[in-house]
Amino acid sequence: MNRTFTMIKPDAVANKNTGAILDAIIKGGFRIIAMKMLHLTPEKAGAFYEVHKARPFYGELVKYMSSGPIVAAILEKDNAIEDFRKLIGATDPTKAAPGTIRAMFAKSIDANAIHGSDSDENAKIEGDFYFSMMERIG
């Protein structure tokens, strides 16, 4: 079994899509290992997206990710990273395959409804950013 990390982003929570997105994740075969709702400060959002610091959209991304509550979760499944990226679709929702979470719920390339880790290594770093051992199943 492999793990990935996800966040349901502020636009999706604000638009009342949390339940529908969690349903798609569970029906997609992912087991929720840890989950919580929280509102990131700009400092915490900036730290999470540190890897994107040099990119032109970093400031906007930090502002957006701290604009409202998010739902963070660790998910488990065989081939979790790749399968979850397939389930959420491309970063730009206009390029996301039909039926993917971003195609269904994302509004734009920045407010794109959901995050998914891009590697096993980053899934561990990102999961550890949010969750202690006491907050996980197994």
Closer CB to ligand IDP, 82 or 118, in the complex: 118
Instruction: Provide the residue count of the chain.
Output: 138
Number of residues that bind ligand IDP (CB under 6 A): 9
* Residues 80-119, mask of contacts with Mg ion (x by CB under 5 A): --------------------------------------x-
Q: Which residue has the tokens 């550890």?
A: 128
Angle between helices 120-130 and 80-88 (to 10 degrees): 80
Q: Give which of Mg ion, ligand IDP, none residue 83 binds (C-beta under 5 to 8 Å, depending on kind).
A: none
Tell me if residue 115 is catalytic: yes
Residue 18, CA atoms < 13 Å, CB-side half-sphere: 14
Q: How would you list the strands of the sheet with 31-38, edge to edge?
A: 31-38, 70-77, 2-8, 114-116
Across 86-135, the runs of DSSP E, i.e. the strands, are 114-116
Residue 112 binds to ligand IDP (criterion: CB under 6 A): yes
- Supply the residues annotated as catalytic: 115
List residues binding ligand IDP (CB under 6 A).
Answer: 52, 57, 61, 91, 109-110, 112, 115, 118
List residues binding Mg ion (CB under 5 A).
Answer: 118
